[in-house]
Amino acid sequence: MEVMQNTLDLESLLILESDEGFLVGGSFGGETVEVKQSEAGLTCQCFIAKVSPDGECEHTRAVLEYLAHVPGEDDRPNLSQADADYYLSKLAELDAIQTGNEASMLHQKERIDLWFESESSKIQRRKDYYILALDNWMHLSEYSTKQLVNGTLKVRAQQPEIIVTDESAVVKDGRFTRVIPAKQSVDKASLRKHITTTGEEPEGVKVTMRPHKFSYTTNRKEEA
Alpha-carbon distance of 166 to 205, in angstroms, equals: 7
Number of structural domains in the chain:
2
pTM: 0.48
**CA distances (Å), 202 to each of 84, 94, 120, 194, 207, in order?**
79, 68, 42, 10, 9
In whole numbers, what is the pLDDT of the chain averaged over residues? 82
Residue 73 forms part of a structural domain: yes
- Choose among 188, 208, 5, 194: nearest CA to 87: 5
Are 199 and 190 a contacting pair, CB within 8 Å?
Answer: no
Strand partners, 180: 183
pLDDT band at 178 (very low <50, low <70, confident <90, very high): confident
In percent, the amount of the chain with pLDDT more than 70 equals 83
Residue 182 forms part of a structural domain: yes
Alpha-carbon distance of 219 to 151, in angstroms, equals: 5
From 78, 93, 113, the end of a domain falls on 78
Domain of residue 60: give its range: 1-78
Residue 1 forms part of a structural domain: yes
Residue 3 forms part of a structural domain: yes
